[in-house]
Amino acid sequence: MTTAFGRASEDNRAALIGYLPAGFPTVAGAIDAAKAMAAAGADIIEIGLPYSDPLMDGPVIAEAVHRALTAGTRVADVLRTVEAVAAAGVAVLVMTYWNPVDHYGVRAFARDLAAAGGSGLITPDLSPEEADPWLQASGEYGLDRVFLAAPSSTDQRLATVTKSCRGFVYAASLMGITGTRNAVSGQAAGLVRRIRAHTDLPVAVGLGVSNGAQAAQVAEFADGVIVGSAFVRRLLDAATPADATRAITDLTAELSAGVRRAPHPTASPRAVS
């Protein structure tokens, strides 16, 4: 992911990070959608690992995940999706709750994710204090590890989270579940500033961005803009696979234009290690 953020920084803009769950509307359909997203301008793609108890997911993503699980989507399908998208030339992360990784075997998951071309994991329910097996396995296989920081995080907590991250820091712009909103949280910029006091890693903001105008707003102060529910909604609303591809392409193009709309003031001087 260092390369993806570095390219965005060279372009004086934020990186666009899109999320889609594996297995929805089908395994092949998710792969096609992710490839369309990559072709239309996404810098990094998160592939969601469907899980039966998605605590952070709002109703849109939860519905898609439910359908993926009902259709029988498994970890092997997630890894196959990662492999296909990585082959398209875009950085790919897996967004997953910890239980499936623990059940699969932490070292085995790291090994198989690296073999598939994955860049790392985003683990919303794993705290750094409980992450020793993952820290060791990710180090062994050269994978990035992305932990979440929230507006309620104390400075001490931000120091702990950022120290454990590699790749970037995920700034959850508000408390609550995922889902599109009419406006970007007013807490987001302040949280990014607080995180940057503890790390030189890129900081990407997620939760609530659904259109180009919001992406442009976040790109003014963050190194990355994360969009999930808005993409999944396009898939839920699509009547045919062709409609799904067109909808994903159109939204990605809008968001990609948004992160390029105005110069990104923090990108040029920032480290991306």
Q: How far apart are CA 27 and CA 71, in angstroms?
A: 9
Q: Residues 156, 227, 118, 6: is their CA dihedral positive or negative?
A: negative
Residue pointed to by tokens 């792969």: 31
Choose the catalytic residue: 32, 46, 77, 144: 46
Q: Residues 17, 23, 28, 33: is their CA dihedral positive or negative?
A: negative
CB-CB neighbours of 226 under 10 Å: 28
The residue type found at 42 is A
Strand-strand pairing, 15-21 and 44-48? parallel
Using left for φ > 0, alpha for ψ between -120 and 50, and beta otherwise, residue 37 falls in alpha
CB-CB neighbours of 193 under 10 Å: 12
Choose the catalytic residue: 57, 77, 144, 223: 57
The distance of Cα 145 from the centroid of its chain, to the nearest Å, equals 12
Whether 223 is catalytic:
no
Whether 46 is catalytic:
yes
Catalytic positions are 46, 57
